[in-house]
Chain A
Amino acid sequence: MTNNLTKDQIEGLAEHLENAELKAFEVTKITDDYPDMTYKDAFDIQWEIRRRKEARGTKIVGMKMGLTSWAKMAQMGVEHPCYGFLADYFTVPDGGEVKFDELIHPKIEAEIAFVTKKPLKGPGVTIADALAATDFVLPAVEVIDSRYKDFKFDLKSVIADNSSSTRFITGGQMVRPEEIDMKNFGVVMEINGEVVATGAGAAVLGHPAASVAMLANMMGERGEEVPAGTFIMTGGITAAVQINKGDNFAVRYQGLGTITGRFV
C-alpha cells in the first residue's frame, strides 16, 4: 500500500471532486491526469473528502458498497468491490423528494441495508461474523451519481469519487437477519408505474452479508473498523437505472415492504 501522489495532490483532487459533487458538475476521470495513482491514493482522496465534510460539521451516517456484482467486476477487470461513505445530507425520507438539479445524471439501485450491533474489524471477517454482528436489515434505495462525464470511470477514479455516493432512501420493514432468506429474497423496481428491473439478493456477491464482511476487511486494510450501529448499504440487487426529473419510483421488497420517492 503505497502512494504515488503527494499530500498536496491528494488534497487538491479531494477538493476538485468534492466541488464537482457539491456544485453538480461533471469532471473527467482523474486517472487520465494521474495514470500512476495507486489504490491507496484513491482511498486517501476519498477519506480526505470525508475529512473535509466532517470539518464543516457534516455527520457521517453510514457506509455503502459498490460494484458488488460479479458480472460488473468482471466487466471492469477488478477483483474487489469498492466502498464509500454516506453523509447526513444524503438522506431522503421514504416517500420524499430527491432534488434532481442538485445532481448530475442520477441512477437508482435497489439494495438491502444492514445495521450492526457489534464492531467488525478486518482482516479475516467472514459472512458468519457479519451476520452475528448484524442487529437488523431493512430495504434501501440508493441514488448514485458519478461525478465523471457519462458515468465513465475506472476503479481508482470511482473510489476517489466516494464510489458515486449521493443520496439514499431507507424505510419499509426491518427484520432480524435470521428472519429472511437474504440470498433468494426478491426486489421489483418500478419507475412511473412500470417494472424496470427485478433481482434477488444473491446478485450482491452471492449473499449480501458477504458485502458487509468485505467492507470490514477493506477498511481493516487501513486500520479502520466498522463501529457498532453502522448503517451499511450492501450494493445494487438490480442494475442501476437512469431516472429523470419528474419521475417517481417504487421499489417492492419481498416481505419487507416498499420504498417510494420522486425526483423533482
Chain B
Amino acid sequence: MNQDQILQAGDELYEAMVSRTTIKPFTERFDDITIEDAYHISLRMIERRVQAGERIIGKKIGVTSKAVQNMLGVYQPDFGFLTDKMAYSQGQEMPISEQLIQPKAEGEIAFVMKKDIIGPGLTNADILAATDFVIPCFEVVDSRIEDWKIKIQDTVADNASCGLFVLGDTAVDPRKVDLATCGMVVEKNGSIISTGAGAAALGSPVNCVTWLANTLGQFGIPLKAGEVILSGSLVPLEPVQAGDFMSVSIGGIGSASVRFV
C-alpha cells in the first residue's frame, strides 16, 4: 500500500470507531496489504485519537492463544495501543452500548511497569525485573471490521481490535505468583463460563510481554514506567451486551468485575 492509502485506511478506521459503524475488511480490498502496512494504518488511527485529546497509557498484546492463532493462520502475537479513554475502574459501569460496536470480553493479566525498558534482546528476567505489579483485567475487544471477518492485517490495522478495559484493584508483586500456572475463572451473570491458566497465552504471560518489548524495540519504542500492558487472553472470547455482568478471578492475584450498560 502507498502512503496515501495507509493514511486513508487509518482515517477510515478512526471514523468507523467514532460513528460506531463497521467497514469492509482491508484484506478484501487490498490484495497486497502486509502486516507492516497494517501497523502503519494502526499508527494513523491512534494518531487521530491522540489529536482528539486521548493520551497513550500502555499497550495490549493480542493473538496469544493457540485457538486464535489457528483461526487467523498466524503464529505470532500482535499489539495495539491503550489510551486513557479506554480505561475503566473496578465497579464502574462500562457503557458498551454507547461506545462499542460488537464487543467481546476476555480475562487477562495486566502488567504495570516500574521502569523504562527497551528491546531487542530482553529476556523474561528483564521484564520481571522491570514490572512493578500485575493486576487482574477484563479487556473488552471490539472490531471496526464488519462481523469480525478479520485476517491478521485487519486486526493489526484496527489497533489489535482494542475496545475498552477494566483493571481490578489488587496489585500483586510478580515475585509472589507463578504467572504460568495461576488459574483464571470467568463468570457471566453468575455462571462459570470458562477457566484457564497463565500458560494459555504463549506459554506464560511473561513471554507475551517479552515478545512485545523486543518487537517494539525494533522500532525504537520502549515500554515506559507506569505503562499498563495487557498480556493476552487466557480464556475464549465471550460476546457481551448491555445488562451483562462479568467477573474474573485469578489464583494468587485477585479479581475484577464489570457491569455492561
- Which residue numbers of A lie inside 8 Å of B, CB to CB? 70, 181, 183-188, 195, 198-203, 206, 237, 252-255
Contact = CB atoms under 8 A, between A and B. Distances in A.
B195 A200 contact: yes
Contacts of B191: 70
**Among B178, B180, B185, B250, residue most surrounded by chain A Cβ atoms (within 10 Å):** B185
A198 B200 contact: yes
Given A186-B183, A187-B183, 12 more contacts: A183-B249, A186-B184, A187-B197, A188-B197, A195-B199, A198-B200, A200-B185, A203-B192, A252-B180, A252-B199, A254-B178, A255-B252
Given A70-B191, A200-B183, A254 B249 contact: no
A198 B199 contact: yes
A203 B181 contact: no
A206 B185 CA distance: 9
A107 B103 CA distance: 35
B198 interface: yes
Contacts of A188: 180-181, 197-199
Given A181-B251, A186-B183, A195 B195 contact: no
Given A254-B181, A254-B251, A202 B195 contact: yes
Contacts of A185: 183, 251
A203 B191 CA distance: 11
Contact of B192 (A187, A195, A206): A206
A186 B197 contact: yes
Contacts of B223: none
B185 A187 contact: no
Contacts of A198: 183, 195-200, 234
> 4 smallest A-B Cβ distances: which pairs?
A186-B183, A200-B183, A186-B197, A184-B251
Nearest to A200: B183
B57 interface: no
B183 A254 contact: yes
Interface in B26-53: none
Interface of B: 66, 178, 180-185, 191-192, 195-200, 203, 234, 249-252
Contacts of B251: 181, 184-186, 200, 254
Contacts of B203: 195
A199 B183 contact: yes
Given A195-B199, A199-B197, A202-B195, A187 B181 contact: yes
B252 A181 contact: yes
Given A184-B185, A186-B181, A200 B252 contact: no
A185 B185 CA distance: 9
Nearest to A257: B181
A238 to B, nearest CB: 9
A157 B200 CA distance: 34
Contacts of B200: 195, 198
B199 A199 contact: no
A252 B181 contact: yes
Nearest to A237: B195
A184 B183 contact: yes
**Among A187, A188, A200, A201, residue most surrounded by chain B Cβ atoms (within 10 Å):** A200
A119 to B, nearest CB: 30
7 contacts: A186-B195, A187-B183, A199-B195, A201-B185, A202-B195, A203-B192, A254-B252
A212 to B, nearest CB: 18
Contacts of A187: 181, 183, 197
Contacts of A183: 185, 249
A242 to B, nearest CB: 16
Given A188-B199, A195-B200, A199-B195, A253 B181 contact: yes
Nearest to A201: B183
A241 to B, nearest CB: 13
Nearest to A199: B195
A203 B198 CA distance: 15
A241 B96 CA distance: 37
